[in-house]
Amino acid sequence: MYNILVVEDEKEIAAAIEVYLKNQNYGVYKAYNGMEAINIFEKEQIDLILMDVMMPIMDGIQTTIKIRETSNVPIIFLSAKSEDTDKIMGLNIGADDYITKPFNPLELLARVNSCLRRYTSYSNFSQPQEDVIRIGGVELNYTTKEVLVDGAPVKTTPLEFKILHLLMRHPNRVFSIEEIYEKVWNEPAYNPDTVTVHIRRIREKIEINPKEPKYLKVVWGIGYKFEG
């Protein structure tokens, strides 16, 4: 059974989410601010976090930054429609997805199921043909989930690792944003714009000059490729 941490300061919303999740046989922990969330996360086995943005004491942005210091646990942001900047900021600091409030319970469950599925398995396309891929100064080890750049380890989130793995397995092949989303997220391209944010974060980690990338390049009007 997967355990999900619901971080939401509005207790009625948190209680409703708890009912939806428990009906799907998920274990549920609840926190009403970021500090409570971190305390629970450090003590319990948490497989996914639903994170509200606006909360007292410690908001969702700061809580995510703190959790990302030590963990790549999947995090889905709960964001109001007027908080587009919070969505982008959340993705930039390592959130995996976001759901817009007010949300449909079926959408919430679909996103949770999809996110957990991504972290426990790959689609057939993504099964490794080789454990270690080296292109230029970038080395990706599928078995250990490590990325090295010029011999130095680089910390990536699971989604960043999967995007990089997909592109490096097929050097010089151009993938559209929608194609990357569907193959990595293993679902229809509901939020393809999130791919662009993750690509930018990968560049910041593997490129000497992210604005003039050597490896991870855009093909305007088409998509992205890893040049090898």
**Exposure on the CB side of residue 142, measured as CA atoms within 13 A:** 18
> Domain with 103 in it: what CATH number?
3.40.50.2300
For residues 82 and 87, give the distance between their C-alpha atoms in angstroms, rounded to a whole number: 10
Structure pTM?
0.66
Residue-range definition of the domain harbouring residue 87: 3-120
For residues 30 and 198, give the distance between their C-alpha atoms in angstroms, rounded to a whole number: 28
Regarding whether 160 and 58 lie in a shared domain, the answer is: no
What pLDDT tens digit does each residue of the chain (228 aa) get?
899 999 999 999 999 999 999 999 999 999 999 999 999 999 999 999 999 988 889 999 899 999 988 888 889 998 876 556 666 777 778 788 888 888 899 989 988 988 888 776 543 444 455 689 999 999 999 888 899 999 999 988 888 898 999 999 999 999 999 999 888 877 777 777 788 888 998 999 999 999 999 999 999 888 999 998
The residue among 209, 190, 27 whose CA lies nearest residue 97 is: 190
* C-alpha Rg value of the chain to the nearest Å: 18
Residues 6+ positions from 50 with CB-CB distance below 8 Å: 4, 5, 6, 7, 8, 17, 76, 78, 99, 108, 112
Q: Are 87 and 93 in contact (CB under 8 A)?
A: no
> Domain with 199 in it: what CATH number?
1.10.10.10
